[in-house]
Amino acid sequence: MYERLTVVGATGAVGRLVLRLLEERNFPYEKITFLASARSAGKTVTFKGKEYPVEVLRPEAFHEGDLVIASTPDEVAREFAPYAVERGAVVVDESAAWRMDPKVPLVVPEVNPDAVRNHQGIIASPNCSTTQMVVAMKPLHEAGRIRRVVVSTYQAASGAGVAGQEDLDAGTRAYLADQEYKYTTFAHRLAFNLIPHIGSPKHEGYTSEEMKMVWETQKIFGDDSIQVCPTCVRVPVTNCHSESILVETERKITVEEARRLFAAAPGITVIDDLPNKKYPMPMVCDNYDDVYVGRIREDLSSPNGLAFWCVSDNLRKGAATNAVQIAELLIGVKSTVRA
């Protein structure tokens, strides 16, 4: 066991969920510490029925033997993760700051758990949209080797944080009341609208969110030849990201085989009964850790194509749950991952 568990960003939306998951999963620790920005210093967090003070995030807050779960903006992660590593801590980082660093493993425990063994002090957790997609891809890739993915995302307001959820709620109320509302998070009205733009312009007409799905998928599978064509869309849903996914495999996988593969894979729940109107939806997948798959069907335009619908709670499996699962992996392999 690590000597101390440190949660960075403990007062944020994902940080609070990390605390809940640590309780739910009975995560082992000897001592626990909570860190956040200076503006949160002096606050308290409740964990396992006890109140703890929130300490200021600073280099001296980290110690040899710390296991750190960090949920911070990218710039904070870039500044403070190296301080933690210098002082002998291991950091599980949920930001985008370290994901594509060649020295930093990018890990989804259901997909590439052994990658944690190669860390040099920092382990990155992927983008929420990438995470649920690669979990769904894993059994198909093992069975038939995926060569191409076409994915369209339907991303909830919670992907933009608490402010995004507040924007959707207040903006919807204002729209229904025929009142003006100034959005603080989104560039356009989200209520009763779709915004096909998440992130910043990045590469040949693709946004940064879309390119994350390309590069992160290739890194997680260790295969730069997997082609990914993503379109990321913000939708007026409070929580849970949905994805329409089309994969092309080297070996044909039938619908029946795919359904068996999905059902047997860790972290996947199949809801696939179109005649009875049963399929994954945000309203039924909210607050669960699994990746839900349904609407499984053959691609009518490609002999080796398979299409399916995928929904997951982006705050849980897409963020907090994945980070806690990585921390659980580290406990299991601690004796072999550090010199």
Is residue 323 a contact partner of residue 69, using CB atoms and an 8 Å limit? yes
Mean pLDDT in order along the chain per 10 residues (339 residues): 87 90 92 89 89 93 93 94 95 96 97 95 98 98 98 97 95 98 96 97 96 98 97 98 98 98 98 98 97 98 97 97 96 47
Phi-psi category of residue 107: left, alpha or beta, with phi > 0 → left and psi -120 to 50 → alpha:
beta
DSSP conformation letters of 53-83: EEEE--GGG--TTEEEEE---HHHHHHHHHH
Torsion of CA 107, 78, 29, 42, to 10 degrees: -140
Minimal CA–CA distance to 84: which of 140, 41, 35? Answer: 35
Is residue 30 a contact partner of residue 65, using CB atoms and an 8 Å limit? no
What are the catalytic residues? 128, 241
Is residue 68 a contact partner of residue 91, using CB atoms and an 8 Å limit? yes
Is residue 80 a contact partner of residue 103, using CB atoms and an 8 Å limit? no
Sign of the four-CA dihedral 286, 253, 303, 218: positive
Has domain 130-314 been given CATH number 3.30.360.10? yes
Angle (deg, nearest 10), helices 208-221 and 128-144: 40
Has domain 4-126+319-337 been given CATH number 3.40.50.720? yes
φ/ψ (deg, to 5) at 105: -65, 140
- 4-126+319-337 and 130-314 share one CATH topology? no
Minimal CA–CA distance to 238: which of 184, 131, 316, 162? Answer: 162
CA dist 172 → 168, 177, 187, 314 (Å):
6, 9, 15, 21
Max intra-chain CA distance, the chain: 63
The DSSP bridge partners found for residue 56 are: 36
Taking the alpha carbons at both ends of the chain, their separation in whole angstroms is: 16
**What are the residue boundaries of the structural domains of the chain, listed by start?**
4-126+319-337, 130-314
Minimal CA–CA distance to 198: which of 242, 153, 166? Answer: 153
Query: So what's the pLDDT on residue 65?
Result: 86
